[in-house]
Structure formats: C-alpha cells, structure tokens
Amino acid sequence: METEEFIRKALSVSSKFAWIKRSEVSKVKDRVRMRLWLDKSSFIDAYYTAEKAITSYTYIESGKRLFGANNMRIG
C-alpha cells in the first residue's frame, strides 16, 4: 500500500469515531506519521512505512506511553 492510500484509508476510518477530535498527518518519502487526538492530553500515533508495509502504534495519555505495538504487518 502506498502512503497516500494509507493516509486516505486511515482518515476515512477515523472520521467515523466521534471520540477522535482531530488528526495531524506528516509524510516524508515513504513514511507517514499520523496523530489522532482523543482529547487535550491523549492521542494515538500511527507510523506507516510503505516500503515494508509496516505499521506501528502508540497510545499516549498525559505524556506517558500506555500501549504500543511495533512493526505490525497489514494485510
């Protein structure tokens, strides 16, 4: 999956959840970082690398990482 397709699909899915307040996307070459804000002090970061089709996630609340999953393959 290309980075633009990942961004489009992720934003489409996240827009269906009212508890996701806003999103920020940054892209450099074949890598994407997407931050999904849940409130003022908690968010989910999703990182995607198109070359290897690997996604990593982390949940941050009040500056602390409470959950993370690295190098998850999609497909």
Closest to 45 (Cα-Cα) out of 53, 36, 54: 36
pLDDT tens-digit profile, the chain (75 residues): 889 999 999 999 999 999 999 999 999 999 999 999 999 999 999 999 999 889 999 999 999 999 988 876 654
pLDDT of residue 69: 85
DSSP 8-state secondary structure symbol assigned to residue 74: P
Q: If you search the block for the tokens 């497909």, which residue do you land on?
A: 75
- Domain layout of the chain by residue ranges: 3-73
18 with 43: CB under 8 angstroms? no
pLDDT of residue 73: 60
pTM: predicted TM-score of the whole model, two decimal places: 0.83
Q: Which residues, 6 or more positions from 1, have their beta carbon under 8 angstroms from its beta carbon?
A: 9, 50, 53, 74
